[in-house]
Amino acid sequence: MGGAARDLARTVAAAVAHEPVALTVKNLSAFSAADTAEIRRVFESELKTAGQPAAEVRIAISENLTQFLLVAEIHRQGDRQVLLESWPRPPAPSAAALQDKPARVTLEKKLVWEQDQPILDVAQSGDAILVLDATRVLLVRGAERQSAPIPATHPWPRDIRGRLSVSDSAFTAYLPGAICRGTAQPQLSLVCRDSPDPWLLAPGAIALFAPDRNLFPGHIDVEPGGARDLPPFYSAAPAGDAWIFAAADGRAHIYTHSWESAGAIDQWGSDIAAIQTPCGARILATRPTGRTEPDAIRTYDLGVSEVNGGAPRPAGPALEFSGPITALWFAGNSATAVSRDLQTGRYAAFILAPTCGS
Amino acid sequence: MLAAPAALDPTAANAAPLRSLAFETLVRLDEAGAPQPCLALSWQHDAAARRWQFNLRPAVKFHDGSPLTAAVAAPLLQAALPAMTIAATGDTAIAIRANRPLPDLLLDLAHNGWLDTGPFRQTAFEPGRRATFAANEDYWGGRPFLDVIDVQLGRALRDQLADLQLGKADVVEVAPTDLRRALGATGLSLSSVWSSAPVSLIALAFPGSDPRLREALALSIDRAAMHTVLLQKQGEVSAALLPQWISGYAFAFPTAPDLPRARALANALPPAARTLTLTYDPSLRVARSLAERVAVNARDAGLAVQVSPQNPRADVRLVEIRLASLDPEQALAGLAAALGLETPAAAASPAALYESERKLLDGYRAVPLFHLPVLYGAASRVRVSASSPITHLGDWRFDNVWLSGTAP
C-alpha cells in the first residue's frame, strides 16, 4: 500500500510540475480510516499543499474483486488526467503458508425443520430427520411423518433443553431428569423414563444435567481422565487435549488435559460445540447476545497455547441468524442449531456443515 | 435446419440466470466477492501463482450418477480454460499450470468450467419458452427443498408481475421502474426482493453519425435525475462500461451533464444535422421511459431526438447488455463486442484496463448510462434459509429456497 501510494504521489507531483495542489482523499474501499490517513500523509509528503494551488488533485482509494486501486484525478487549467496504481488483494495462501496457517472454515446452514413449538434438537437417522421438542419426537422422511409423544412425568424447567443422540436406527433423547430411547426403523418407537442418567456431552464425555434447570451442574466424566466436578456450565467443547466450558458465570473457561485452569474467553455466548471439519477440529461459538437479538455462530481455531492470554482466533466468517440461537449441539462432522425467528416467533432447526478453503 | 439445443448450455451468453441451478464450478464467490469452496474443497499455489493444485470435494456425483473424479473433471475444465494446462494428479487432485502468473484464477474458476453436479437436474428445456428442473436427490450439499422448478422464459415483465399478484408464479423478475409499484401492489416486503450486483449496462450505442452530435447528446444527459426518478435509485449511475465493483475505477469517468458544451456542440452543427432517431427494444426492462427522458435532455441542448421503438435505421440505440464475466478484461471485451466497438487491447493491470476502456469511449460511439442489478420479487410463501439466492452475476442459487406451507 505504502509503495503504491508513494509511486503514485511522485507521478502526480511530476504531472503538476511540483506546483502547489489542492488535495482531497476519499476512501471507496474497505480500508480503515487509519489506512486512509496514512495514504493522505504519503501524498502530503510528496505534493506541495501550501500556497495558491495550480491544480486540484483528487485521490480515491478503491477496490475491485482482486485488486486495491489508488486513483488520482488531476484537474489543471481545464484539463483532466487520471492516473492509477494498483496492488493485488492478499492472494490465496501458498502451499507453504497453508501448512503453517489454519484453513479458513466456512459454515453452511441447511434448514431441516421449522415449527411453532421450541425445537430442542434435530438429528439425521438414515434418510429421516428426527425432531425433538418438549412433547414429542417427530420423524420426517420425505412426505412421511411419525410422531411419538414424550410423557411429562414431572414439570419441565421453563427454559427446557434436550439432546438427541443417534446410533444407526436407534436414538436416545436426553431431557432434564428423563431419558427416552427409541428406534427410527421400521416404525418410530419411543420409551421414556425418569432418569438422572448423564447426557452425552461430546464423544467420550458425559455429564449430569440438572433436572430442574437448563444447565449442567458441573459433574462430568471424561474418558480418559475420569469423573470431575466443575462449576455449572451450559455447554462444553473439547479442544484437542483441553476442554472449554461455557459456564454459568458468562465466561468460557478453558481447562488443560490435567484439569488446570488455562484462562477464560469473554467474547462467546452460552452455546459452544466442537466440530470435525475437513481441515481439523474447530470450535463453534455463539455471540454473547440476549434472547431478543439476532445471533451468529462462528468457527474458531483454538489451542490452549493460543487462548492462554490471547483472544480466540476466528477461523471463518460468522454465520448470521435472524434471531437468537436456542440450541447448538455437536453432531460429528456437522452441528445442529436451532434459532427463533424474531419476526415470526417460529423455531427453525439447521444442520451446519463446514467447508475448508484458503 | 439445426435443431434447437435440448439442454441448457452453461457457457452460452444467455445461460444466466438458470445455469447455477444445474451446474457448478470449482469455486464460487461469497456475498463479499471472496472465493469459497464449491466443487474444490481446498487449493494451493506456488509463490508465482503459476502452478495451482485443487482438491476436489469427495462424494460428488454428476447428474448421470457417475462420480466426480479428477480424471473426469480435468479434461472438462481444460476445454473451458484452453489457455491453461489442466491435468489430474490424483484421484481428487487437479493441477492447473500456465506460463504466466494466474493471480485471478479463482475468479476465472468462479464462472468457467461448469460441471453438471448442481442441486437441480434439467428435465426439459425449450429455448426462449420454458425450462424445468427437478431436485437432485444425490446433491452433495443435501437434497434441495424444492422438488421442481418450472421456469417460463421470455415473458414480459409486466405480465410476470401480474402472475405474481395472481399467485401464478412464486418468483418473477421485476424492472427497477416497477419496484415501487410491485412493493405497493403485491405487498412484497423488502426482504423478498432479491438483487444481483449491478450487472446490466444500459448504454447508448451509435453505429454512425457526426462525432460532435454524439458528444452533444452524451453531454446533455442528466443521469442522476433519471436514476432518482425513473430507476428509483436502483443500480448505479455510470459513464464507464465496466461497473465499479468489477473495475474499481468507474467513478473516474465523469457522469455529470455539461449542457453549455452540449449546446455549443449542437449549435456548431447545421440545423438539419441536429436531429437523431433513438430506438430501443421494447422488451428491455426500462427502455421506453429512459429513451423518452434522453429525448427531453437532448432537447435542452438544442437537439431533436425522435424516439422510435424497434427501428433498424435509427441513429442511436438504447441497449441493455448483461455482464458475462467477473474478469474485468473479459468483461470489457464482451461489452465492446456487444456494442460494436473495437476489441480492447490486452490489459495486465487496472491502469492498462482503464486506458483500454477510455479509448473505447473516446469518440462517444458508446455512452454508458447506468449499471443496473437484476431484481426479483418473491411471493410471501417463498422462504430462503441461507445466503442470497442470487449470485453476483444474477444466477439463481435456489438450493436453500423453500415454500412455506410445505415441509422443508
Residue B43 to residue B75: CA distance in whole angstroms: 18
SS3 of chain A: the string is CHHHHHHHHHHHHHHCCCCCEEEEEEECCCCCHHHHHHHHHHHHHHCCCCCCCCEEEEEEEEECCCEEEEEEEEEECCEEEEEEEEEECCCCCEHHHHHHCCCEEEEEEEEEEEECCCEEEEEEECCEEEEEECCEEEEEECCEEEEEECCCCCCCCCCCCCEEEEECCEEEEEECCEEEEEECCCCCEEEEEECCCCEEEECCEEECCCCCCCCECCEEEECCCEEEECCCEEEEEEECCEEEEEECCCCEEEECCCCCEEEEECCCCCCEEEEEECCEEEEEEECCCCCCCCCEEEEEECCHHHHCCCCCEECCCCEECCCCEEEEEEECCEEEEEEECCCCCCEEEEEEEEEEEC
Q: What are phi and psi of B82, to 5 degrees?
A: -70, -20
Please report the domains of chain A, with CATH numbers, ordered by start residue: 2-88 (3.30.160), 97-357 (2.120.10.30)
Pairing of strands A272-277, A280-286: antiparallel
The residue of chain A with its CA nearest to that of B402 is A111
Of A59, A62, A65, A36, the C-alpha closest to A47 is: A59
Domain containing residue B81: 24-109
Can you read off the three cell numbers belonging to residue B94? 487437479
Cβ pair A110, A351 in contact under 8 A: yes
Q: Which residues contact B146 (CB under 8 A, 6 or more apart)?
A: B120, B135, B398, B401, B402, B403
Cross-chain residue pair A92–B33, CB shorter than 8 Å: no
User: Which CATH number is B253's domain given?
Assistant: 3.10.105.10
Q: Which of A65, A69, A111 sits opposite B385 (nearest CB)?
A: A111
Residue B24 to residue B397: CA distance in whole angstroms: 10
- B318, B348: one domain: yes
- B213, B359: one domain: yes
For residue B317, how many C-alpha atoms fall within 13 Å in the half-sphere facing its CB? 17
Q: How far is A247 from chain B (nearest CA, A)?
A: 30
Q: Which residues contact B251 (CB under 8 A, 6 or more apart)?
A: A28, A60, A62, A71, B244
Q: Which of B45, B104, B251 sits opposite A94 (nearest CB)?
A: B45
- B259, B327: one domain: yes
User: Which CATH number is B68's domain given?
Assistant: 3.90.76.10
Last residue of a domain, one of B85, B109, B133: B109
Give the length of chain B: 408
What's the confidence (pLDDT) of residue B188?
Answer: 60
Q: What's the angle, vertex CA B360, arms to CA B357 and CA B365, rounded to 5?
A: 140
- B181, B310: one domain: no
Best A28, A29, A58, A65 residue to mutate vs chain B (most B CBs within 10 Å): A65
Q: With beta carbons under 8 A apart, name residues in chain A contacting B326.
A: 65
- B137, B247: one domain: no
CA quadruple A122, A125, A129, A133: dihedral sign = negative
The model's pLDDT over A278-291, given as tens digits with 9 standing for 90+, comes to 777 889 999 887 77
- B224, B367: one domain: yes
- B240, B310: one domain: yes
The model's pLDDT over B74-99, given as tens digits with 9 standing for 90+, comes to 999 999 999 899 999 989 999 999 98
- B129, B187: one domain: yes
Helices B350-361 + B328-338 axis angle, to 10:
10
Chain centre distance of CA A114 = 22
Q: How confident is the model at residue A2 (pLDDT cuts 50, 70, 90)?
A: low
Residue B196 to residue B376: CA distance in whole angstroms: 9
- B361, B307: one domain: yes
Q: Which of A60, A83, A355 sits opposite B41 (nearest CB)?
A: A355
Q: With beta carbons under 8 A apart, name residues in chain B contacting A71.
A: 248-249, 251-252
Residue B339 pLDDT > 80: yes
Q: How many domains does chain B have?
A: 3
The model's pLDDT over A106-165, given as tens digits with 9 standing for 90+, comes to 888 889 999 999 999 999 888 899 999 999 999 998 888 999 999 877 788 878 999 999
Domain assignment present for residue B130? The answer is yes
What's the confidence (pLDDT) of residue A271?
Answer: 93
Residue A182 to residue A162: CA distance in whole angstroms: 15
The model's pLDDT over B344-396, given as tens digits with 9 standing for 90+, comes to 988 888 999 999 999 999 999 999 999 999 999 888 888 776 567 888 888 89
Please identify which residue in the block is written with the cell numbers 484421484: B91
Fill in the amino acid letter for B316. V
What's the confidence (pLDDT) of residue B186?
Answer: 61
Last residue of a domain, one of B66, B82, B109: B109
> For the stretch A329-344, what's the b/e string if a residue is b when 16 or more beta carbons lie within 10 angstroms of its beta carbon?
bbbeebbbbbbbeeee
What's the confidence (pLDDT) of residue A100?
Answer: 37
Cross-chain residue pair A94–B43, CB shorter than 8 Å: no
The residue of chain B with its CA nearest to that of A86 is B350
This prediction has a pTM of 0.65
> For the stretch B22-32, what's the b/e string if a residue is b when 16 or more beta carbons lie within 10 angstroms of its beta carbon?
bbbbbbbbeee
Residue B133 pLDDT > 60: yes
- B42, B175: one domain: no
Helices B157-165 + B179-186 axis angle, to 10:
20
Classify the complex by whether its ipTM is higher than 0.85, answering yes or no. no
Please identify which residue in the block is written with the cell numbers 421503438: B309
A274-283, A301-310, A326-335, B7-16: which has the minimum mean pLDDT?
A: A301-310
Proportion of chain A above pLDDT 70, given as a percent: 91
What's the confidence (pLDDT) of residue B4?
Answer: 42
Cross-chain residue pair A351–B142, CB shorter than 8 Å: yes
Q: With beta carbons under 8 A apart, name residues in chain A contacting B351.
A: 83-86
Residue B201 to residue B392: CA distance in whole angstroms: 14
- B149, B287: one domain: no
Cross-chain residue pair A62–B248, CB shorter than 8 Å: yes
